[in-house]
Amino acid sequence: MLETLDTERIYGRIATSDDEGSIRLVLEENLTVLQLLESKVDVARDARRIADNDDLPPGGKKENSYHYLLFARSNNEVAGILSCYLGYPEKEVFYVGGLFLRPRWQGIGLGKEIVSRVEDLLNNNIVKQIRLGVGLKNWSALRFWTGLGFDTITKIKGDSEFGVNQFAAVELLKRIG
C-alpha cells in the first residue's frame, strides 16, 4: 500500500496522532452505524486508537496497518476514514477494518471510487482476497459491499442468541487478481 490514496474526487493520507479530532468527528457522525455493532460505543477511545495506529488485529504489526484520513478534492473537507490491514489473517488477505464516510459525502459514488482504487493498488501477485466485517443490522453497507462483489460469507461472528439488543457481524470476501 501507499502513503497516499488518490481517486478522482478524494485524496487520502495516512492518519497521524494529530488527526484524532478529525477521526472522532467522522466516527461521531456515524454513531448510529457504530451502535449496530456494539451497545457501548466509545468514540473517543476508538478515534485515539485509530490515530495512534493501535487498532490492530490479533498478533498484528503496526507496519501492516493503514488508517487513511480521506479528504474531498472539491473543498479539502474531511470526507471519511478508511482502515485496513495487509496480511490478516493470512499473508494473501487484505482486510478492510472499516470505511466510514461522513453522511454528507455518502451516496454519491465515493465509496465505490475508493474501493475500486484500493483494488487497483492491490493488483499484484501477493494479495488474493479482500475481506471485511460488516454489522448484520447494517443493511445499507451490506448492499454496498455485496454490490461491489463481496459475495462470499467467510464467517458470522457475535452473539449466539438473536434479539433487539444482540449484535453480530458477517465477514465477507472478494477474490481479486
Ligand X SMILES: CC(C)(COP(=O)(O)OP(=O)(O)OC[C@H]1O[C@@H](n2cnc3c(N)ncnc32)[C@H](O)[C@@H]1OP(=O)(O)O)[C@@H](O)C(=O)NCCC(=O)NCCS
Q: Which stretches of the chain bind ligand X, using CB under 6 A? A: 30, 33, 98-101, 106-112, 132, 134, 138, 140-141, 143-144, 147
Distance, CA of 38 to CA of 56 (rounded, Å)? 18
Judge contact between 132 and 157, C-beta under 8 A: no
**Least distance in angstroms from the C-beta of 142 to ligand X:** 9
Residue nearer to ligand X on the CB measure, 73 or 112: 112
Judge contact between 115 and 107, C-beta under 8 A: no
Judge contact between 14 and 66, C-beta under 8 A: yes
Residue nearer to ligand X on the CB measure, 17 or 74: 74
**Least distance in angstroms from the C-beta of 45 to ligand X:** 18
Residue nearer to ligand X on the CB measure, 6 or 17: 6
As a dihedral over the C-alpha atoms of residue 135, residue 6, residue 150, residue 139, rounded to 10 degrees, the angle is 30
**Least distance in angstroms from the C-beta of 125 to ligand X:** 27
